[in-house]
């Protein structure tokens, strides 16, 4: 079986985790600090603040903006539910632009259509490991005085015109088990703003500046040294992992390039994709049998695949009648959710595995 994602942590990780256990410092300590400084370097951001998961990273990034009820955040309709849940937990109202089929990310035009006097934050999602168009979105944010919070949960080390995802505004990353870099559960917030980083550090630790001196109503958003020790050894090998992912993506594109009606993912000019997912759009006539295609890939060819995501993020009963979830037309996302299918692209695929994946998809579509 070729799984859609693989977690493989080696001897170096085992020994570093053991060091932490033996050190007696198992909550937030020096390993978290080391992970923060090395991650800031990867992103090209001045500051990085580690937290306990990617959802909290988003929540905290919004909480420090002191939003009022009714303040609006514009985000992508095609994302993991955490993006929307974070907006709601921060007490803001969510609005949705639409995506471009070329990069699956929020478009500047659709953002402009959703701007209101209450808009306070733009929250693009760098889906599958490729950034949104940060020139266009950053331009709107600057022109309107909006905060820019990037959901970079899938985009560790991705770049847009040489700049790292998470370095344009406040960057929010996830280290969940299946992400490109992992601590099991974990997250990171990056920023170039020293004051914001300071507020995030205080918020993360019960709003406490010094022992029993509280300056805001905070929370426990802390990461542990045990978690940081799981991620640290991955950083040294990450460039090599990205080379593998990129080579696998290029080979898949080559092997699938002539399949009629199949839309392949692209790396757009000026962007460095980190291939968290390799997501194709099935030919329209195959969309209704997507579940059967997934079953056949698995049962007949031993190939894992996944649907990220099967519906637009607001299209669930639990969000339907909420005043803080404002839905607009999202024709591109509506089409993409019906046709998307993610194939294995991870760094542990052999050359033969990549051929197996492509051959299997060709077979089930023919
Ligand atoms: C994984 C993910 C999150 C949430 O991260 P967790 O660490 O699972 O809380 C948020 N947004 C996107 C796009 C994600 O893929």
Distance CA 134, CA 140 (A): 10
Which tokens is 136 given? Answer: 């266009």
pLDDT at 284: 93
- Digit-coded pLDDT (tens) for 129-175: 999 999 999 999 999 999 999 999 999 999 999 999 999 999 999 99
Instruction: Provide the terminal-to-terminal Cα distance of the chain, rounded to the nearest Å.
Output: 22
| pLDDT above 70 coverage of the chain, percent | 100
**DSSP label at 51?**
E
pLDDT at 299: 98
Q: What is the mean pLDDT of residues 328-340?
A: 98
Q: Is 179 a catalytic residue?
A: yes
Distance CA 190, CA 196 (A): 10
* Residue 236 exposed, middle or buried by CB count within 10 Å (0-12, 13-18, 19+): exposed
The alpha carbon of 183 and the centre of ligand 1 are apart by a number of angstroms equal to 13
pLDDT at 186: 98
- Digit-coded pLDDT (tens) for 178-227: 999 999 999 999 999 999 999 999 999 999 999 999 999 999 999 999 99
- Digit-coded pLDDT (tens) for 108-127: 999 999 999 999 999 999 99
Q: What is the mean pLDDT of residues 232-239?
A: 97
Mean per-residue pLDDT over the chain, rounded: 98
**Ligand 1 atom 14: the closest Cα is on which residue?**
153
List domains and CATH numbers for the chain: 11-236 (3.40.640.10), 238-365 (3.90.1150.10)
Kindly state if the Cβ of 53 falls inside 6 Å of ligand 1.
yes
**In this structure, is the dihedral angle defined by the CA atoms of residues 45, 90, 33 and 54, taken in order, positive or negative?**
negative
pLDDT at 294: 98
Backbone angles phi, psi at 66, to 5 degrees: 55, 50
CA 93 → CA 69, 127, 153, 202, 302, distances in Å? 7, 21, 21, 25, 43
Residue 139: CB atoms within 10 A of its CB come to: 12
Pocket perturbation via mutation, ligand 1, pick of 54, 185, 221, 313 by most ligand atoms within 8 A of CB: 54
Crossing angle of helices 238-256/351-365, nearest 10°?
A: 30
- Return the CA Rg of the chain: 20
The alpha carbon of 251 and the centre of ligand 1 are apart by a number of angstroms equal to 27
Distance CA 227, CA 101 (A): 36
| pLDDT above 90 coverage of the chain, percent | 100
Kindly state if the Cβ of 187 falls inside 6 Å of ligand 1.
yes
Which tokens is 16 given? Answer: 């570093």
The alpha carbon of 180 and the centre of ligand 1 are apart by a number of angstroms equal to 12
Q: What is the mean pLDDT of residues 45-68?
A: 98
pLDDT at 255: 98
Q: What is the mean pLDDT of residues 33-52?
A: 98
- Digit-coded pLDDT (tens) for 172-192: 999 999 999 999 999 999 999
């Amino acid at each position: 079986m070729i799984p859609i994602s693989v977690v493989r942590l080696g001897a170096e990780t085992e020994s570093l985790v053991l060091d932490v256990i033996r050190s007696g410092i198992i909550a937030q300590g020096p390993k978290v600090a080391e992970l923060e400084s090395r991650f800031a370097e990867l992103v090209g951001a001045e500051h990085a603040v580690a937290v306990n998961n990617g959802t909290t990273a988003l929540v905290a990034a919004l909480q420090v903006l002191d939003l009022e009820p009714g303040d609006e955040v514009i985000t992508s309709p095609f994302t993991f539910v955490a993006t929307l849940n974070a907006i709601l937990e921060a007490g803001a109202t969510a609005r949705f632009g639409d995506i471009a089929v070329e990069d699956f990310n929020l478009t500047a035009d659709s953002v402009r259509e959703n701007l209101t006097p209450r808009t306070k934050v733009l929250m693009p999602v760098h889906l599958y490991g490729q950034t949104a168009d940060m020139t266009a979105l950053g331009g709107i944010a600057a022109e309107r005085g909006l905060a820019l919070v990037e959901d970079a949960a899938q985009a560790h080390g991705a770049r847009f015109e040489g700049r790292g995802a998470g370095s344009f505004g406040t960057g929010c990353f996830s280290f969940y088990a299946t992400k490109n870099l992992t601590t099991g559960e974990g997250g990171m917030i990056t920023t170039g703003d020293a004051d914001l980083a300071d507020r995030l550090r205080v918020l993360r630790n019960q709003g406490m500046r010094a022992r029993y001196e509280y300056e805001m109503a905070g929370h426990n958003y802390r990461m542990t040294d045990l978690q940081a020790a799981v991620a640290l050894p991955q950083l040294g090998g990450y460039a090599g992992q990205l080379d593998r992912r990129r080579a696998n993506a290029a080979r898949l594109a080559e092997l699938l390039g002539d399949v009629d009606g199949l839309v392949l993912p692209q790396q757009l000019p000026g962007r460095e994709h980190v291939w968290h997912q390799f997501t194709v759009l099935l030919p329209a006539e195959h969309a209704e049998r997507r579940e059967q295609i997934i079953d056949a890939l698995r049962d007949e060819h031993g190939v894992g695949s996944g649907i990220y995501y099967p519906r637009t993020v607001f299209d669930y009963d639990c969000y339907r009648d909420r005043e803080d979830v404002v839905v607009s037309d999202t024709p591109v996302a509506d089409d993409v959710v019906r046709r998307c299918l993610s194939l294995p692209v991870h760094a542990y695929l052999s050359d033969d595995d990549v051929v197996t994946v492509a051959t299997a998809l060709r077979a089930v579509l023919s």
